[in-house]
Amino acid sequence: MVNNAGIYPDHALLDMPVEAWDAVMTVNLRGTFLCTQARQRRQLQGGAVVNLASAAAFSARVGVAHYSTSKASVVMFTKSAAQELGRSGSASIRLLRG
């Protein structure tokens, strides 16, 4: 399964409506969490979970604090999920950095 959904609206930090922050976190981070959880609850054999992040997770950029934060969170979520779910041998979780 590939978690590839993401949105990237530009908003200056001081002008960013909370709805824009929430929308980016919902699509980019919550979606990754929910899809990973749903797949692992089905306990499918074989295959892997692939979560896509972004170079923005590793370097700050003007106008996309919400996007960069969401993608950095996807990186840490992926690392945590791989440790937790990989111990039992029930999951192969990978991160692709684009």
The pLDDT tens digits of the residues spanning 4-31 come to 999 999 999 999 999 999 999 999 999 9
Query: What architecture does CATH give domain 2-96?
Result: 3-Layer(aba) Sandwich (3.40)
8 A C-beta contact, residue 18 and residue 60: no
What is the pLDDT averaged over residues 41-63?
86
| Residue 8 appears among annotated catalytic residues | no
8 A C-beta contact, residue 80 and residue 33: no
Quote the pTM value. Answer: 0.86
Distances (CA, A) of 41 to 19, 27, 35, 54, 73: 30, 20, 10, 27, 22
Catalytic residue of the set 67, 71, 77, 81: 67
pLDDT beyond 70 at 97: no
| Euclidean distance between the first and the last CA atom of the chain, given in angstroms as a whole number | 17
